[in-house]
Structure 1
């Protein structure tokens, strides 16, 4: 089950714990960079299994553009389609709310995953927190 929550929701502690597990522990992102000022204004998606958060992403709206970030799936839940489900849920939600496009900074190693979902690479590869990324964009149908 996927639910949309805000920064004040009690589930956010589990969302932050999952993000810390994936980004800080597994990928070596500096802990001070993992949570930022956008977390308080973003809509967060939490994928639940047996009451536990096993996947998440956040959505920050900028007029008619939605920016997806901080997508994480727990190690034991990967390769089962949960990432795709989170991305499709997010696209439906922001489209319903009037967004015309989604942008995201994809980890370079994950760009094929986003391509399969209809995202197109834009610009040069860049470093974010020691990890190579590329900007990607997807136009949404009205």
Structure 2
């Protein structure tokens, strides 16, 4: 069974969150390590998907007035295709809405855009490069 918890940058679980992000982004995808953690980690709310006490998925939410920006969404290789990403995104949307956000934006890796489309996100603008990987901005309006 998977449990999703909200944590802040000072939570003891953050070391496991960072380890998972490093595994997915730095090791699997080849993103330079110095780009993976940034100043937004200190101000973001973080979600951790837990299974038997282990972090198997994560994302972060940075709030800008009435907009929530989701980023650094990662699921461990052995936990993919099991609905963890969808659970994280739905939890994030509910949390953002609860906290007063009217919309969510995200920079989707181009290969993941269909995943986000199925969750109601709409592509905006041209494809752009982020850390050597094609991305596209996506947006979803939240219900009031």
Q: CA RMSD in A?
A: 0.2
Aligned length, in residue pairs: 141
Measured after TM superposition, the shift of residue 99 of structure 1 is 0.3
Deviations 1:109-134, CA, capped at 9 Å, x for gaps: 00000000000000000000000000
> Which 5+ residue runs of structure 2 have no aligned equivalent?
none
Deviations 1:59-79, CA, capped at 9 Å, x for gaps: 000000000000000000000
Residue 54 of structure 2 corresponds to which residue in structure 1?
52
Measured after TM superposition, the shift of residue 101 of structure 1 is 0.1
Structure 1 runs of 4+ off > 2 angstroms?
none
Distance 2:47 2:65 in 1: 20
Distance 2:57 2:107 in 1: 18
Distance 1:100 1:94 in 2: 8
Measured after TM superposition, the shift of residue 7 of structure 1 is 0.3
Distance 1:105 1:94 in 2: 17
TM-score normalised according to structure 1 size:
0.99
Distance 1:128 1:34 in 2: 11
Deviations 1:4-56, CA, capped at 9 Å, x for gaps: 00000000000000000000000000000000000000000000000000000
TM-score normalised according to structure 2 size:
0.98
Residue 87 of structure 1 corresponds to which residue in structure 2?
89
Measured after TM superposition, the shift of residue 87 of structure 1 is 0.1
Distance 1:105 1:20 in 2: 18
